[in-house]
Structure 1
C-alpha cells in the first residue's frame, strides 16, 4: 500500500524545520552517504503506531510577498499541499495569530483536505491558553506542541494517523506492473505515456490516481497489464506555474511510492542534472525497480562513440545506481519504446525475485573463501549464514558474530557477489547484518 504524504506548511519561522528534524532526524542520519541522494532533503519517512508516512517539509508561506525567495517558498508549499493526503498547518503560539496565518488558513480550506492545526512553541503550561485565538481560523481544535522540547508530539501524531485508517483498503494487490514515469519538467513524460498508451494498445481504463490529481492508465500489452502512473498529469491540472524545477521532487514522491518500476527520464540534450540525481535518489532509497530512460535521442548527432560517452556520464552522475539499465529512446518517433516495455517487465521480475537459502549460502561461503573479511577494531568478522527476508527490493539478512564490525567495502563486495550470481539487474538490494552468538 502506498504511504500517505503529510506536508508541514505555515509562514516562516514558526518551527516547521525544527519539527521535521525532530521527527526524522535519526532516520536521515543513517541513510546512505551517497553524493546526490540525500542533499537538500525536504522529505523523509516517519513511523508512528504501525503507520508509515512520508513527511514533506516546506519553506514558509508569505502569500502577498513579492520577494523572489518567498515566492519560491510559496510555490513549493502549494505543490506539497496539492500532493499531500494530510496537511499539518503550524502556527506560532508565542507570537500569536497573524494576518499571514489567516491567509494561509483560507488557502487550506479551499483544497478540501484534512488539516491538523498545530500551535508550536508552547513550552510550558502557562502558554497553553494561547491556543484559543487560533480557533478563529476554522480548522478545528488546535493541538499544542513544543517542537524544540518534544512536548505534545505524540498527541499530534495520533491526530495525523487518524486520517490514514480509511486508506487501508485503497490498494488491493493486482496482477499488474505499476510503472511511474518521473523526471524533471519538459523531459517528455507525457509524450512517452501517450506513446505507451497509443491506439495500437488495448487501453483498459483511465483511473484517477489514489488521492492525487494524476490520471493512471491501465494498459494491456501482449497479455500483460501495466498501470502507468503519470506525474505529468498532476502538473497539467495544476494552476501553479512552475518556474523552479527543484520542487518537482515533491510531485515524484507519491508516484514513486506506488510504483514497482520507476522510469527515470533524462533529456538527452541536457544530460543528467542535479534535479535528475535527486529524483533518482528517491527511487533508489525507496527500493524500486529502476530503468534510466534517455529521451530525445533522435535530436543528438551521433557517431560510434556517442552512446558510450553518454553511458559514462550517466554512470558517473548516478554512481549510486550502477545496477540500473540505460535505454535510449525517442518518445516522439517511438524509437526503442517496444524494447522499453520488455525492459520494464524484466526489471519488475528482478525486483520481485527470491533466491533459495541453500544456493545463497553457497555463494556467500564461496565469496568469503575468495576474500576474507578485514579485521575491524581488532576483531575478525565471522559470517554464519544468510537468508532472503523480503522482495521489492530483495533484502537479505546476514547473521554475523558482530554487526558493528562489518566494513563498508566488504558489504559492497558481498553485494557485488550476489549480483554476479543472481543478476538483480535494475533493482537495489539490501544487506542487513544481524549479530548472533556463536554456538
Structure 2
C-alpha cells in the first residue's frame, strides 16, 4: 500500500530534526540520511495508532537574502516536499516569535492546497500562554504550542495529522500477483533504462545520455520462459553529497523503496568505468534490505582489449569483496549482447533467495566442522555449536544454538558463511546468521 507522506518544513534551527526524531519510529531497513553540503535531509517510516506513513525532514529554508549559494536549491526542495506530501508540518521557534524567514516559508506553504499544521516549537511549559495572534499572521492556520524536546503536544499533533490523511480505501494497494520483483539499480547514466527497454523488448522508459533522466520508479511486467517478472527501473542513485536537486532526493527515496519491495536487484555497473565506490555503497544498501543481487556489467561492447577486461575484473574483485557470492554478467544493453543471461541469473538468484535447507543437512555440516576442530576459544572458554536450523527465507536465515554466542567473532562468522556457501547452493543471495544460547 502506498503510504501517506508528511513533510516537515521550516527555517533552520527551529527544531525540525528534533521533532522528526520524536515522531519517527526508526527501523534499520527503512531509515536513510542524505547529506547536502551543510544540511541533513532524512526520511523515516512512522506508525501512529496502526496508520503507517513516511515522515520527511527537509533542509532549513534560508532567507532569499541569504549569502548561502545553496539557498535557492533548498527553497526548491521545500516546494518539492510540499508537492510530494499529503500533509505538511510547518515548524517555527516559539522562543523568538515570527521572523522574516518564517514569513517566507509561509508564502511557500500557502501555494499548496495541502493540510498544514503550524507547530510553535520549544514551548517547554505546557501551561505557558501562547501569544497566538502573532502566528496567525502567517496565514497557514491555527498555531499549536509544542515541545519536540520534551514531547508535549506531539500525541495530539499525530492524532490530527493521521486524521488528515486520505482514506485508506483511496490509497493504492499493491497486490501480490506472484510476480518476481526485480529492481534495476545503479548510479546515474550506467544504462539502467536501456537495459529495462532491452529486457522488455519495447521502449518503456525514457532513455537519454544525460545522467538523471529517470526521476521516478517505473514498473514493467514481462513474461520470460514461464516466469512473470516485474521490472522496476529506478532513478540513478548519486553520492549523498551530490543529491542537491529536490527531485533527485525524492528519486533516492523511491529507489530505496523499490529495493524494499524487490526480490532481486540488478546492480548495473558501467564496465567502461569499472566498479566504483558508489556502486559498492548501492550494493550494500540492497544487501542491508535482504535483496538477492546480480551484478550487470553493462557497456561491455566498449571493452576491446584484454587489459581493459583485467581492469574491470580487478575493480570487481576489489570493490565487491563483501558480496563475492553475487554473480556477474557481461552485457551490452545497446546491442542486446547476453541480456537473456541477466534474466536467467535473476531467476536463479530468486530461487536461492527463497530456498530452504533441511535441518538434517545443516547439522551434517556442523558435525563435519566440529570434527575438524575449527572453533573459537578465549581465556579457557571454548565455543561449542550444538545444532543449527534455518529460521528464515528471502533471504535465508540460519540460527546456531551454542554454549557461548558472545565468543563468535567476525572471522568465525565469515568461516561459517563460507562453509555454508561451499556446501549449499546459495549463489546470488545474502544470508543471515544468528547465534543463540542453547537454553534460550
TM-score, scaled to structure 1: 0.76
Structure-2 separation of matches of 1:377 and 1:3: 52
Tell me the SS of whatever aligns to 1:91: strand
Is 366-375 or 114-123 further displaced after alignment? 114-123
Name 1:350's counterpart in structure 2.
352
Deviation at 1:262, TM superposition (A): 1.5
Tell me the SS of whatever aligns to 1:279: helix
- How many matched pairs? 414
Q: Does 2:287 match 1:284? A: yes
Deviation at 1:340, TM superposition (A): 0.7
Name 2:324's counterpart in structure 1.
322
Structure-1 separation of matches of 2:13 and 2:308: 49
1:135-185 deviation line (CA, Å, top 9, x unaligned): 666766666543434545555556666659828981222111112122222
Structure 1 residues 367 and 234: alpha-carbon distance in aligned structure 2, compared to 1, 3 A threshold: closer
Deviation at 1:116, TM superposition (A): 5.9
Structure 2: runs of 5+ lacking an equivalent: 32-39, 205-214
Structure 1 residues 437 and 217: alpha-carbon distance in aligned structure 2, compared to 1, 3 A threshold: same
1:356-385 deviation line (CA, Å, top 9, x unaligned): 222223223333443543234764333333
1:262-303 deviation line (CA, Å, top 9, x unaligned): 122222333334433333222111111112222222223321
Alignment check: 8 A CA contact 1:376 1:407 kept: no
Name 2:333's counterpart in structure 1.
331
- 1:38-437 matches, within 5 Å, as 42=42, 56-62=56-62, 64=64, 67-74=68-75, 89-104=90-105, 107=108, 118-126=119-127, 129=130, 145-154=146-155, 163=165, 166=168, 170-199=173-202, 214-232=217-235, 242=245, 249-303=252-306, 305-376=307-378, 379-437=381-439
Structure-2 separation of matches of 1:292 and 1:16: 39
Tell me the SS of whatever aligns to 2:70: helix
Structure-1 separation of matches of 2:417 and 2:3: 28
Structure-1 separation of matches of 2:433 and 2:385: 13
TM-score, scaled to structure 2: 0.76
Structure-1 separation of matches of 2:91 and 2:342: 44
Is 117-126 or 384-393 further displaced after alignment? 117-126
Deviation at 1:77, TM superposition (A): 5.6
- Structure (1 or 2) with the greater helix fraction: 1
Structure 1: runs of 5+ lacking an equivalent: 32-39, 202-211
Structure-1 separation of matches of 2:320 and 2:75: 30
